[in-house]
Structure 1
Amino acid sequence: MPRPALYTFGVLKSPLADPAPLTREFYEHGEAVYRKISRHPGYLAHAEAADGDRGMLFEADWGAWGEFAVPAWYGKGRTVETTALAATLSLWTGLRPAFDAVYTGLHRAALNRRHDWFERTGHPSHVFWWVSDGVTPTWQDGVSRLEHLHDHGSAPHAFTFHHPFAPDGTPTGIKDVEEPA
């Protein structure tokens, strides 16, 4: 049964290595959100560097999730000292569990603070697509889907929470997508 993959991408106002209180606060919130979401019903997995160091995004070994990639429009640093981005790649049992995880609890509180931490880029911040059971999405998959979403809008190939598609490609609502048993 197909599973939704979710890629998120944001450009931070300051590099991850910046010792400023706002950057530390973002990191602390992020760690708590990751822990909470990893226990959320419907969560299957997320891309995690083999060495566990999220600060070394470009140099890390991401295993089956592939080489770390970012959208072409990201123009900030790529070193541990200059990287100013936050990206996630995750796999879910359905759209509704992902929606609930993102728009409730700790993640909802973090979303309310997003403009403190992230630049407004004019690009989408998340994209969904369906993958076959047993398939691990890659960072490059996420990037190409996000860029497709930006260029063409929501479609079965790349869509958002607000304009979702069912696995068969028909437009749907989050509540209308049949969840696996």
Structure 2
Amino acid sequence: MPRLALYTFGVLKSPLTDPGPLTREFYASGEAIYGNISRHPGYLAHAEAADGDRGGLFDADWGAWGEFAVPTWYGKGRTVETTALAATLSLWTDLRPAFDAVYTGLHREALNRRYDWFERTGHPNHVFWWVSDDPTPTWQDGVSRLEELHDHGSTPDAFTFHQSFTPDGTPTGPAMSTQP
């Protein structure tokens, strides 16, 4: 059965190591949000560093999720001290559970504050695509799909909540079930 991959990417206003209250607040909310999302029906998995290291995104061993990658338009740092981004890569059973997880509860509250933490870049901040049962999507897959979405709009290969597709490429509406 096909699975739904979701890649998110945002450029933070401050580096991850910034000791300021907004960065601390962003990090503090992240733990609870990940906990809630990982228990959400329809959630399958997300990319985690194999060695448990969260500080060095670019140097971490991401196992089957591949080498960490960012879109070509990301122009901030790549060291532990200068990295100013937040990215996720996850797998879901379907669009509706992902929609519900993102737009309810703690994550919804965080979305309401996103412009406190993130820059407005003019680029999409999330992309979906369908994957088969076997391969694990990689960070580079997510970056490629996000850039494709930016360049060409929603297609069956790279789409958003609002312009989505079933695994066979049929257009569907947001939060609608795409599985039979």
TM-score clears 0.5: yes
Aligned: 1:7 with 2:10: no
Establish whether residue 21 from structure 1 lines up as the match of residue 33 from structure 2.
no
What does 1:1-181 align with in structure 2 at a 5 Å threshold? 1-179=1-179
Q: Distance in 2 between matches of 1:54 and 1:174?
A: 32
- Return the offset for 1:31: 1.3
Q: TM-score normalised to the size of structure 2? A: 0.97
Instruction: Count residues in correspondence.
Output: 180
Given that residues 161 and 175 in structure 2 are in contact (C-alpha distance below 8 angstroms), is that contact kept between their aligned partners in structure 1? no
1:75 partner letter: G
Deviations 1:97-149 (A, max 9, x none): 00000000000000000000000000000000000012210000000000000
Moved over 4 A (4+): none
- In the TM superposition, residue 174 of structure 1 has moved relative to its aligned partner by 3.5
The separation in 1 between residues aligned to 2:94 and 2:156, in whole angstroms, is 15
Structure 1: state its 5+ residue gaps: none
Give the Cα separation in 2 of the matches to 1:86 and 1:60: 15
The amino acid of 1:67's aligned partner reads E
CA RMSD in angstroms comes to 1.0
**1:179 Cα deviation from its structure 2 partner:** 3.4
**CA–CA distance in 2 between the matches of 1:16 and 1:175?**
32
Structure 2 residue matching 1:45: 3-state secondary structure: strand
Provide the rounded CA distance (Å) in 2 between the counterparts of 1:37 and 1:179.
20
Describe the SS at the equivalent of 1:159.
coil
Identity, % of aligned positions: 84
Cα-to-partner distance string for 1:131-179 (whole Å, 9 max, x where unaligned): 0012210000000000000000000010000000010011112444343
Scaled by the length of structure 1, the TM-score of the pair is 0.97
Separation in 1 of the partners of 2:40 and 2:10? Answer: 22
Change (3 A) 1:175 1:101: closer
Superposed CA deviations along residues 48-107 of structure 1, whole A, max 9, x for unmatched, are 001222221000000000000000000000000000000000000111000000000000
- Is 36-45 or 171-180 further displaced after alignment? 171-180
* Distance in 1 separating the partners of 2:118 and 2:174: 26
Give secondary structure in 1 for the equivalent of 2:7. strand
- Residue identity matched to 1:151: D
Greater mean alpha carbon deviation, residues 10-19 or residues 44-53: 44-53
